[in-house]
A and B are shown apart, each in its own frame.
Chain A
Amino acid sequence: MSAEIKKKKKKESRFLSTLSRLKKNKMAMAGLIIVCLILLMALFAPLIAPYGYEEQDLAHMFSSPSSDHWMGTDNLGRDIFSRLVYGSRQSLKIGFLSVLMASVIGITLGAIAGYYGGKVDNILMRFLDVFQSVPAMLMSIAIAATLGAGMNNAIVAIGIGTVPIYARMTRAQFLSIRGMEYVEAAVAINAKDPRIIAKHILPNALSPMIVQMTMGVAGAILTAASLSFIGLGAQPPLSEWGAMLSAGRSYIRDYPHLVMFPGITIMITVLSLNMLGDGLRDALDPRLKN
């Protein structure tokens, strides 16, 4: 009983000490607050957006920012602010789901390669070599081109394209932790491999992965915007931010607000995720802060 309490306390203290270090980092906290606000915006989009994302007002096409339309309207008279608010759902969905997919596959592959080593490691790493010999963005484009345009395909394409990053990182962590005494102790008491991997090694290898995942969401949002920009991501009438940029591109000469606001929104979101990621890295491993 007392051992359980001690273990709980230890876990809590590790989490709390990370949190207290994170709290001291103003940039990270600012990033966290903005990320939370964007999440809330996505969650309560119908309450925040003054118009529907598909609602057309053909009498007010291309109108400049005004009190009726805070960020103006697009070529079909749709309210840009409302589309950005609804678009946060699409962009965050792509960001989070692609990272979830990449990390689940990557961590599993990396854990197997790092824990078992030998031939399994060799085969998996050579497979990843093939994957990594094509830049991640180009890999995502090639996969998206194969699967066809669309939100779900973009998620799969970005997810698969970034698997090697997580796999290599997990493998490296597992290789350094595998020789630790507590892992040897677990092997000595005849614990099964999946238990050793999931319960003893993985929790101790997670710190860099959490940081990578936070920044990965930012990267995925940027890649998704690029995919939509070249016509491989979300399709009309969905208001994904990159798709909005792509649609507004034809009118930049006379109506620059069509591309300005989606770009700023993408930048603020990615910036806040990167700020949070930087802060998390420093909080989880203070040695890196120098």
Chain B
Amino acid sequence: MSRYIVKRLLMMIPVILGVTWFVFTLMYFTPGDPAQIILGADATEQEIQEKREELGLNGSYLERFGTYLKQVFVDGDLGTSYIYNNSIADEIAARFPNTFKIAAISVVLAVIIGLPLGVMAAVNQNTWKDNGSMFLALFGVSMPSFWFALMMVIVLSLHLKLLPATGLDSWKCYIMPCVSIAIGGAAGIARQTRSSMLEVIRQDYITTARAKGQTEFLVTYKHALRNALIPIITQVGNMLGIQLGGAIVAESIFSVPGLGTYMVSAIKNRDYPVVQGSVLVVAICFGLVMLLVDIVFAFADPRIRSQYQKKKKVAKEA
């Protein structure tokens, strides 16, 4: 297993380099002179030239890419914000915990809502419970999460004054951002759970479990759900990976000081190094979450675990 993890981590290196190249190229071709953006419209031509020299913007594409690679991967420096003139890596490090907390709570909430809903739909296939819960799930995936967030602000903050509309000062502040993100995720998990459960629910081993006199609860949750978990874990992992990139719009609605808000303000201010650095960090997080998903597969499914063990055995025998 550890060999597999190391192998996967090594495989991430070219992908991360590829993302670095892609994001650098995107920003390289972005119209607008960064020196002009920093100095403003009143700057003289000489001032702009000096700033360009200082920022290293006068080099060729390859020179600049080489410098950027060295800066990121050798010096561990994501650069400096054009607008705030502070370290991007420090700012991301300060904001990431907020994004992580919201992402983790949203995912847990989505699983708590979505999983039982999907299981209920599958075990009651073609009944009103199935149709009702699946329509609800369809509703959830179709609703713009930021619109739902705004509706919650109107009702729960502005009219009922139950929850704060902005910030992250108390546990109450987490409720609306997390619920608004979780609804769509829960709907997706419910739909995935139903379809995975339906694939295993008529298998022979389920009939065998029933024939052995297992309770319906054990048959559903121990025998069926466990075998249906792989696509559900993928879905949950995907949701976590995406949310770690900052629930961009939700964070901006609730003024959460997270990665999403940082990126949105950077986009609005044309603060390209921030966009570049943030996307890179998100790509790394996404890759790590996907690796985690693969590892969780092995714990959830003994067949996958045995594949790793077989490989190990074969390697030993050889």
Instruction: List residues of chain A with CB under 8 Å of any chain B CB.
Output: 27, 126-127, 129-131, 133-135, 137-138, 141-143, 145-146, 148, 218, 222, 225-226, 229-232, 242, 245, 249, 252-253, 256, 259-260, 262-263, 266-267, 270-271, 274-275, 278, 288, 290
Contact = CB atoms under 8 A, between A and B. Distances in A.
Contacts of B138: 271, 274-275, 278
Question: Which of A27, A138, A231 gathers most chain B CB within 10 Å?
Answer: A138
Interface string B1-45: 000000000000011101101110011011100000000000000
A266 B15 contact: no
Given A135-B245, A142-B279, A245 B146 contact: yes
B248 A142 contact: no
A142 B23 contact: yes
A230 B22 CA distance: 23
A226 B15 contact: no
B248 A141 contact: yes
Contact of A267 (B143, B241, B253): B143
A226 to B, nearest CB: 5
Given A138-B282, A267-B147, 14 more contacts: A127-B18, A130-B18, A134-B283, A135-B242, A135-B245, A138-B248, A145-B275, A222-B144, A225-B144, A229-B249, A252-B153, A267-B142, A271-B142, A290-B195
B230 interface: no
B147 A252 contact: no
A252 B154 contact: yes
B113 interface: no
A226 B252 CA distance: 11
Nearest to A222: B144
Interface of B: 14-16, 18-19, 21-23, 26-27, 29-31, 125, 135, 138-139, 141-144, 146-148, 150-151, 153-154, 158, 195, 198-199, 241-242, 245, 248-249, 252-253, 263-264, 267-268, 275, 279, 282-283, 286-287
B245 A226 contact: no
Contacts, number: 123
A247 B57 CA distance: 36
Given A226-B249, A229-B249, A245-B146, A256 B154 contact: yes
A259 B264 contact: no
Given A129-B15, A130-B19, A226 B248 contact: yes
A275 B137 CA distance: 11
A266 B142 CA distance: 8
A271 B139 contact: yes
Contact of B268 (A130, A231, A263, A275): A231
